[in-house]
Amino acid sequence: MSAPGLHLLLCGRLDAWHEDQLSGLRDRFAGLLMIQRLTRDVDRGALTDHTGDALAMLGAKETAGQYLVRPDGHIAFRCAGSDLTAVTGYMQRWFVTESVRGLNGSR
């Protein structure tokens, strides 16, 4: 069972993702965002698609892809490629973090 919150599903090769971008997302949206990976690579921490069928259905068999899944199961954001700039911008627009609330003085 998954924790409540947003789930960012990173599809494709494990080495496609920039660790500094992932760390930034994890830090900024801690408690709200869970990051999961779907790959053909064998890795203990990732979901493994041995046949490549799931990656093909998601359009990420030959390239990388990103899916931000809302708690109700709907896709909030999707993007091809491994650059996380667009999903970071989307989250910054729609989800206010505690650090931003503190700067504005509101609770």
Strands (E), the chain: 6-11, 33-39, 47-48, 65-69, 75-80
CA atoms of 99 and 68, how far apart (whole Å): 22
Q: Is residue 35 part of a domain?
A: yes
Any idea what the CATH number is for the domain that residue 11 is in? 3.40.30.10
Q: Is residue 1 part of a domain?
A: no
- pLDDT tens digits, residue range 51-103? 999 999 998 878 899 999 999 999 999 999 999 999 999 999 988 665 544 44
Instruction: Give the domain range for residue 28.
Output: 6-104
Q: What is the structure's pLDDT at 12? A: 92
Q: What is the structure's pLDDT at 60? A: 86
Q: Is residue 23 part of a domain?
A: yes
Per the CB < 8 A criterion, the answer to whether 97 and 29 are in contact is: yes
CA atoms of 24 and 22, how far apart (whole Å): 5
Count Cα atoms within 13 angstroms, Cβ side, for 33. 25
Q: What is the structure's pLDDT at 100? A: 47
User: pTM to 2 decimals?
Assistant: 0.82
Per the CB < 8 A criterion, the answer to whether 32 and 96 are in contact is: no
Residue 1: pLDDT over 90: no
Q: Is residue 99 part of a domain?
A: yes
Number of C-beta neighbours around residue 28 at 10 A: 17
Per the CB < 8 A criterion, the answer to whether 67 and 36 are in contact is: no
Q: How many domains does the chain have?
A: 1
